[in-house]
Amino acid sequence: MTTVGLIGSGNIGGTVARLAVAAGHQVVLSNSRGPETLQDLVAELGPLARAGTPAEAAQAGDLVVVTVPLHAYRQVPVKELAGKTVIDTNNYYPERDGHIAELDDESTTTSELLQAHLPESRVVKGFNNIFFTHLLALARPAGAADRSALSIAGDDPAAKAAVTAFFDSIGYDTVDAGPLAEGWRFQRDTAAYAGLYAADPANFFESGPTRVDAATLRAALAAARRYADS
């Protein structure tokens, strides 16, 4: 049994928690407003779930999912995440996060920013390119003919192996897009972004889900273009 810490327990964090608990993992939820605001979700998830502060979730997790708005990434606890595998779900929305020069000029990626903030952690990009309702709906047991795949990027092979095993446990195959620097291939508005998992890609917020197998995801990652080249 893995303990999954969640720093951020909104749409993506809550969905990952539901999938993790269904797979038999323990979860420690946190948000910016305090553990008392998460009691309804804890009650829904049952005895495998509890709430804490971000630092407590970071310290408790064998694997920690950071799913906070990008503008808040510097508030993610550093000391408690040292030596840990961290899944970064972030996307860059300038209208929400403000403009970040090195993201605007594409000299770095969101996950590389988090890795720089967490120098002793092993950051793996994941969960950022699928709408939360589709993430919940498309999970399938290992070996299922209609199983979907999710992409990851990261610099540490052991961390990527741990995330791949976790994805498998919650219902997904994994496609490795390469190092963190290649995480742009499944960032916002690329071919491998959320519309890929939607029956109506242009309206993925309201559309039902559609299966994306590993071959389809690999093709989308290969077709990705930098914003400057689009």
Kindly report the CATH number assigned to the domain that includes residue 27. Answer: 3.40.50.720
**What values do phi and psi take at 22, rounded to 5?**
-60, -30
Residues 7-29 have pLDDT tens digits of: 999 999 999 999 999 999 999 99
Residues 191-213 have pLDDT tens digits of: 999 999 999 999 999 999 999 99
74: which residues sit within 8 A by CB, 6+ positions away? 117
Whether the per-residue pLDDT at 230 is higher than 80: the answer is no
Domain that holds residue 56: 3-229
pLDDT of residue 225: 94
Residue 152's pLDDT band (cuts 50, 70, 90) = very high
Mean pLDDT, rounded, of the chain: 97
Residue 123's pLDDT band (cuts 50, 70, 90) = very high
Residues 38-87 have pLDDT tens digits of: 999 999 999 999 999 999 999 999 999 999 999 999 999 999 999 999 99
Task: Give me the number of domains the chain comprises.
Answer: 1
Which residue's entry shows tokens 């197998």? 213
Q: For the chain, how many helices (H) and strands (E)?
A: 9, 8
